[in-house]
């Protein structure tokens, strides 16, 4: 795997963050005003295009190095990617199971956008909690995830409350 460049440098994170913020504002404005730029696309397609740009910006942000990308950051990144991939693969397997049981079930491109966008956001959230906020989390094989979760009760409660507020906001806005 040597020589295979998988990460942008720190400038990618800054650029991705700025682009995500700009496109999020554009998305919100588009949702409220229904403006269109391209004649061949309708307002809904413009809206999903804006959301896709937000997701792409977040993707750039997610796969960029930190300013000080040391071994602890690499370990947190590896664990965050592992958790995200576990969830992602699990959900895809569950969806494919449903697809076999219910052959009439259909997905469109927007479902794929939300599916991929959700996991990019999920990864970004747990990675940044890991490197900046998770001071009680003990790294390494011991004492295991369950003991760590018990130590981090306050953080878990805060994440749950934050997630519920975010979901409520998303449903209210869109």
Partner 1 sequence: MKNTIKVERAKLNITQTDLADAVKVSKQTIHSVETGRFVPSTILAMKIAAFFKAKVEDIFELEDTD
Binding residues (CB under 8 A) for partner 1: these are 66, 68, 70-73, 75, 131-132, 135-140, 142
CB 148 within 8 A of CB 137: yes
Q: Compute the distance between CA of residue 155 and CA of residue 168 in angstroms, rounded to an integer.
A: 20
Nearer to partner 1, 70 or 108 (CB): 70
Torsion of CA 71, 77, 79, 80, to 10 degrees: 160
Nearer to partner 1, 3 or 140 (CB): 140
Q: Compute the distance between CA of residue 117 and CA of residue 103 in angstroms, rounded to an integer.
A: 25
Token representation of residue 174: 């869109």
CB of 128 to partner 1, least distance (A): 12
CB of 139 to partner 1, least distance (A): 4
CB of 125 to partner 1, least distance (A): 18
Nearer to partner 1, 73 or 115 (CB): 73
């Amino acid at each position: 795997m040597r020589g295979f460049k998988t990460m942008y440098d720190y400038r990618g994170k800054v650029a991705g963050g700025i682009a995500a913020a700009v496109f999020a504002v554009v998305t919100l404005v588009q949702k409220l005003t229904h403006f269109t730029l391209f004649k061949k696309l309708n307002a809904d397609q413009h809206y999903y295009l804006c959301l896709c740009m937000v997701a792409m910006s977040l993707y750039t942000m997610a796969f960029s190095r930190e300013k000080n990308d040391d071994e602890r950051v690499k370990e947190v990144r590896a664990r965050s990617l592992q958790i995200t991939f576990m969830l992602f693969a699990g959900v895809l397997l569950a969806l494919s199971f449903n697809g076999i049981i219910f052959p009439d079930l259909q997905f469109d491109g927007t479902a794929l956008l939300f599916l991929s966008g959700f996991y990019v956001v999920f990864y970004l959230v747990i990675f940044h909690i890991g490197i900046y906020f998770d001071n009680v989390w003990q790294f390494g094989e011991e004492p295991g995830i369950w003991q760590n979760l018990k130590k981090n009760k306050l953080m878990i409660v805060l994440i749950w409350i934050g997630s519920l507020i975010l979901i409520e906001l998303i449903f209210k806005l869109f």
